[in-house]
Amino acid sequence: MSGRLPRRGFLLAALAALAAAGCGGGDTRVLTASGVGRETPADDAPVAEVVRGVTAFGHALHAAAADAARNTVLSPLSIACAFAMARAGAAGPAATALDRVFGFPAAGPHTAFNALTRRIVTVQGPPPPPDRRAERDAREQSAGPVAGIANGLFAQEGLPVRQEFLRVLAAQYGAGVRTVDFGGDAAGAINAWVDEQTAGRITKLFDRLDPATRVVIANAVYLKADWEHPFAESPPEQGAAFTRADGSTVRADLMRLRTSLRYAEGTGWQAVELPYVKSELAMWVLVPRRGGSPADLLAPGTLGQVATGLRPRAVDLALPEWDFGTGLDLEAPLRRVGLGAVFDGGDFSGIAEGAFLGQAIHRADISVDKWGTEAAAVTGLAFPTAGLAEQPIEVRADHPFAFAIVHRPTSAPLFIGHVADPTATT
């Protein structure tokens, strides 16, 4: 014998540890790969290579998806994390396209994402929901940032998910598989997980989830951080003119900050770094000359110039508050950046037999005010499986039934009959 397990029994054999789900809703269960814990990544994990790839991808996606006349927020890290997990089950042209577009290292992206996300997160488990209506006092001491990155895998109950795929997700992404019913309320369970992992900032991932879906890969990124230098101590510039891309103006209050900040400039642009308190995280505010394109400043080359050019300077900064979100069906923009192969019958059979990418959705949301920033993003990839698109139809032969033994090429009946009582011998 080869020792190969029957496919329908594969999931239960491959996954041994069963625990109650912590996803905040429904009756889903969490299964983790037997004996596999999250690995501590090696010091030489190719983090810099992954960061270069994510940065270039973010610029390309923004160029493909953003409208200059509309606010846009995206999380390149969230999208890259979700597709890095999918890469663990990809093969052929789909795998090649993912490596090219995301700049995944030749040795694979998984240890690098493990190392990178560990460096960023400050909380284990879901982030605590903040009191968004609480009054703030400039004399209060600010807490450190809350930064969370969560990875989730949702699979149809009984689906034989590949053992190696589950091992990679458990070891490198800390993700177990939550069993759901895509013919029932799977969307509710996924949305409950999204709500919990984004501290209530995003409550829904998919507008509609095809019941043919058998696997969903999800990533959530959350940040709540106070400025090291809050804008609270200076009065805002009220009713200032803000000139939009088409030359029209609107009135907006501009927060003011006069202090020493790290500053850089180049041909046609200025940049200032706003650090978050007790953190290695910061926001770069990138301002083009009037009439210039903000999108151009997100190019990897320009961001590299900012990173190397920042120096302490006395800065007088005027900055509006903002609060908006972006919802994006990723298929069209991802095709524009070269990922058509992942949608055109791309081979993801390393996830489960016959798996292909059916939907890719991204949602991001951000608020910036005088105290700091709160932002969240989720990415969801939905995979139907060929040959398993419909729910199984129950057939119960628990009452009299007929049978026929036939020659399949000709349908010639060798035997026919019916069963009236299976316990009887005549």
Whether 195 maps to a domain, the answer reads yes
CA–CA separation, 85 and 60 (whole Å): 20
Regarding whether 174 and 98 lie in a shared domain, the answer is: yes
221 and 281 part of one domain: no
Q: What is the pLDDT of residue 51?
A: 92
Is 82 a member of any domain?
A: yes
- Statement to judge: residues 44 and 172 lie in one domain: yes
> Two tokens at 204?
């829904």
Domain boundary among 307, 322, 337: 322
In this predicted model, what pLDDT tens digit does every residue of 75-95 receive, in sequence order? Answer: 999 999 999 999 999 999 999
Q: What is the CATH number of the domain that holds 249?
A: 2.30.39.10
User: Do residues 57 and 185 share a domain?
Assistant: yes
How much is the pLDDT for 139? 67
Q: What tokens were used for 52? A: 């270069």
- Residue 402, domain member (yes or no): no
Domain count, the chain: 2
The predicted structure's pLDDT at residue 68: 86
Angle, nearest 10°, between helix axes 76-87 and 92-102? 150
| CATH number of domain containing 206 | 3.30.497.10
- Mind listing the pLDDT tens digit for each residue in 335-363? 999 999 999 989 999 999 999 999 999 99
pLDDT for the residue 69: 86
In this structure, what token pair is assigned to residue 145?
Answer: 């940032």
Same domain, 217 and 235: no
Q: Do 217 and 261 reside in the same domain of the chain? A: no
Q: Which amino acid is at 352?
A: A
Instruction: Tell me what pLDDT residue 396 has.
Output: 56
Q: Are residues 189 and 260 in the same domain?
A: no
Residue 403 lies in a domain: no
Residues 357, 275 share a domain = no
Taking phi first (over 0 means left), then psi (-120 to 50 degrees means alpha), and beta for anything else, what does residue 256 get? beta
pLDDT in tens, the chain (426 residues): 333 333 333 333 333 333 333 333 334 455 555 566 788 888 889 999 999 999 999 999 999 999 888 899 999 999 999 999 999 999 999 999 999 999 999 887 999 999 999 989 999 889 988 887 777 776 677 788 999 999 999 999 889 999 999 999 999 999 888 999 998 889 999 999 999 999 999 999 998 888 889 999 999 999 999 999 999 888 999 998 898 888 898 889 999 999 999 999 999 989 999 999 998 889 999 998 888 888 998 999 999 999 999 999 999 999 999 898 999 999 999 999 999 999 998 999 999 999 999 999 999 999 989 999 999 999 999 999 875 434 444 555 556 544 443 344 555 545 434 446 656 654
**Which residues are CB-contacts of 408 (< 8 A; sequence separation ≥ 6)?**
none
Q: Which tokens go with 394? A: 């129950």
Same domain, 142 and 153: yes
Whether residues 167 and 99 fall in one domain: yes
Cβ-contact 54, 112 below 8 angstroms: no
Find out whether 131 and 199 touch, Cβ atoms under 8 Å. no
d(CA 85, CA 97): 14
Q: Can you count the helices (H) and strands (E) in the chain?
A: 10, 15
* Residue 203 maps to a domain: yes
Question: Is residue 36 in some structural domain?
Answer: yes
With respect to residue 412, please indicate whether it lies within any of the assigned structural domains. no
Q: Judge whether 161 lies within some domain.
A: yes
Please give the residue range of the domain that contains residue 173. 7-226+323-384
Q: Are residues 162 and 141 in the same domain?
A: yes
**Do 188 and 236 belong to one domain?**
no
